């Protein structure tokens, strides 16, 4: 499952995994942990080599249970910290660094291979990480609909209410993620695109469930 931020991809992927009795892997969380490591190391975000060095042998552990995600960095639970503003601002820069992606993609493939059935969500899953996936979905929605959802999520989680700033961040990250040289965000040729702008979560899940069985 690929697509830009704010399409409801995470909630949808988790619910779909539960319905399919599958495991679930949030690859965005992995790039966020790498970013936290880089920020803690105090590395300059323009220095790709230093970023790669700070992330080499990243001591990352990530759970694959769709009912609750636990992400550890060096044994410390960072599940909440990786959702904060500092990490969100820096993550596109860190995820554009080739060696960071190589390391995380290898781990993603290992985790996927060890699961009997798994829903994996990210930006390059259908195009790079798991090109032989049984079913590929590209989830999309208008930038406004996505910003609206992310802002509501922020309010619910006590991170403030600033729609304009969220919209600007959504557009900035879309632009960085889709124009980067390594693994830019784009739909896989053999994926099915679902636009969630006008759909409720249950409608999206029903549609995806159908697609999985049509494709697989």
Residues 64-93 within binding reach of ligand C5P (CB under 6 A): 91-92
Assess 122 for contact with ligand C5P (CB under 6 A). yes
Nearer to ligand C5P, 115 or 213 (CB): 115
Among 1, 16, 20, 32, binds ligand C5P (CB under 6 A): 32
DSSP the chain: -B--TTSSHHHHHHHHHHHTT-EEEEHHHHHHHHHHHHHHHT--TT-HHHHHHHHTT--EEE---TT---EEETTEE-TTGGGSHHHHHHHHHHHT-HHHHHHHHHHHHHHHHHSSSEEEEBSSIIIIITTT-S--EEEE--HHHHHHHHHHHHHHTTS---HHHHHHHHHHHHHHHHH-SSS-----TT-EEEE-TT--HHHHHHHHHHHHHHH-
Nearer to ligand C5P, 24 or 31 (CB): 31
Q: Is 8 annotated as a binding residue?
A: yes
Nearer to ligand C5P, 124 or 192 (CB): 124
Residues 188-207 within binding reach of ligand C5P (CB under 6 A): none
Binding residues for ATP: 3-11
Contact residues for ligand C5P, defined by CB under 6 A: 5, 27-28, 31-32, 91-92, 95, 122-124, 173, 177
């Amino acid at each position: 499952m690929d697509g830009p931020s704010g399409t409801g991809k995470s909630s949808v992927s988790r619910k779909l995994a539960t319905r399919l009795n599958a495991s679930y892997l949030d690859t965005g969380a992995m790039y966020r942990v790498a970013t936290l490591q880089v920020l803690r190391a105090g590395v300059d975000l323009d220095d790709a080599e230093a970023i790669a060095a700070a992330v080499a042998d990243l001591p990352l552990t990530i759970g694959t249970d769709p009912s609750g995600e636990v992400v550890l960095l060096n044994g410390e639970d960072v599940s909440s910290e990786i959702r904060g503003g500092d990490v969100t601002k820096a993550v596109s820069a860190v995820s554009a660094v080739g060696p960071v992606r190589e390391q995380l993609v290898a781990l993603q493939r290992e985790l996927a291979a060890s699961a009997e059935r798994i829903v994996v969500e990210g930006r390059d899953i259908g195009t790079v990480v798991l090109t032989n996936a049984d079913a590929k979905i590209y989830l999309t929605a208008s930038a406004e609909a996505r910003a609206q959802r992310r802002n509501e999520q922020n309010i619910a989680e006590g991170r403030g209410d600033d729609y304009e700033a969220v919209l600007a961040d959504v557009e900035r990250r879309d632009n960085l993620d889709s124009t980067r040289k390594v693994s830019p965000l784009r739909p896989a040729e053999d994926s099915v695109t679902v636009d969630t702008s006008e759909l409720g979560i249950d409608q999206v899940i029903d549609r995806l469930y159908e697609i999985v069985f049509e494709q697989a």
